[in-house]
Amino acid sequence: MTLKVASSIFIICLILFCSCKSEKKNDAKPVTEDSAFSPVETKEPNTAEYKPAFESQTRAPGARTETELDVKVLSDSLVNPWGIVSLPDGRLLITENAGNMRIVTNTGVLSEPITGLPKVNAEGQGGLLGVNIDPDFTNNRVVYWSFSEDQPGGTLTAVAKGRLALDEKKIENVKIIYKALPAFKSTLHYGSRIVFDKDGNLFVSTGERSDIQSRPQAQQLNSALGKIVRITKDGKPAPGNPFAGRPDVKPEIYSYGHRNVQGLAVHPVTGDLWNGEFGPRGGDEINLVRPGKNYGWPVITYGIEYNGRKIGDSITKKAGMEQPVYYWDPVISPSGMIFYNADLIPEWKNNLLMSCLSGMHIVRLVIKNDKVVGEERLLSGEQQRFRDITVGKDGALYAVCDGEKGRLYRIGKK
């Protein structure tokens, strides 16, 4: 064999070797619609004996955004922000846990605190919580928010509304329109997000207040704890609610068996309601919420107690109780969420984007036929506890983070 031939064979073999090595290194990259990355979660589950009810109910294939993103910190001057909503002019309305509400420009300039709000109990997980604006805000300037309110028997999740004054310094004509009774002596698990249905009614999420004693109320239809309720703009049970007319049942209840729902979003195409729900140690959930359905807590769960003990009969399935569309173990602590309905980043269209606290990232879920087919973790390198997220009028995402120097992020396109 000549030196020239041997050299040629060596080069060919080297090319083949490198090609194979390259394929192995990138074997998780999506090259067709049916291919995907490896699941983003690599840690061992807390409950390895709990098996998913169907394929991709957990640890779905990974996904990756191809669009080059432009990530900016617009402010780090918010104090424990909790809720964020986009105003018609592109500015943002943000709640701060201690009881403040502020308007922030999309360049990060903060207003002074807006006055006129009722007192909140900001201990534990309480405070000024979710916020949304009336669908006709341009004309009526009405704002809705949830908060933890002191009561003689403890605290509860309350919903109020009021008109943002023209000078934007005060909320006027404040009225508390709903209280999630009964009150309970706990400062944990209040929920609480607010979104509108297509008819202009409010969906409001509540928590079951965490305590072993209060948990069973998530299953009780004479209690508003551990529920999603559907009410009118005046706080009355919305027409067509699933339990209307039944004795000893709260007519505002839309769904039940929830633990602590801090994420609510309406799909922009189907109009379906989805929620994000805290599990205990393991078992964070995404649910497709149907009227009158029971979502299982605390009877079924994919999690365990924080001390490692089993919950109840340690079951994940039971007849008459809904399975989550998706769950996480270990947890990511899912908080505010939204479906992406803008055109700035087309590959995100109708994807679910959710802020994560202990997970310290924004999760992107690709959903097809009501199943999760892809999961991505965005901004994980920022190491921030993301609390809530919204889509701005410019098509960018705006997200707020926990902390005394709470950040406001803008995630757009380069």
**Rounded Cα gap, residues 309 and 84, in angstroms:** 36
**Rounded Cα gap, residues 46 and 77, in angstroms:** 36
Given 189, 258, 267, 361, which residue is catalytic? 189
Structural contact between residues 167 and 115, judged by C-beta atoms closer than 8 angstroms: no
The vertex-311 CA angle with 310 and 315, nearest 5°, equals 90
Please compute Rg for the chain using Cα positions. 23
- Decide: helix, strand or coil at residue 328: strand
**Rounded Cα gap, residues 188 and 346, in angstroms:** 38
The 8-class DSSP code of residue 260 comes to B
Q: Residue 192: is the preceding peptide bond cis (ω within 30°)?
A: yes
Q: Tokens at residue 42, please? A: 């690599």
> Tokens 């209307």 map to which residue?
244
The 8-class DSSP code of residue 19 comes to H
Annotated catalytic, 189?
Answer: yes
DSSP bridge partners of 35: none
Structural contact between residues 130 and 164, judged by C-beta atoms closer than 8 angstroms: no
Structural contact between residues 114 and 169, judged by C-beta atoms closer than 8 angstroms: yes
Residue 319 makes CB contacts below 8 A (sequence gap 6+) with: none
Residue 49 sits at φ, ψ, to 5 deg, of: -75, -15
Structural contact between residues 349 and 65, judged by C-beta atoms closer than 8 angstroms: no
Structural contact between residues 379 and 361, judged by C-beta atoms closer than 8 angstroms: yes
Look at the chain and count its residues.
414
Burial of 156 (0-12, 13-18, 19+ CB in 10 A): buried
**Rounded Cα gap, residues 18 and 22, in angstroms:** 6
What residues act catalytically?
A: 189
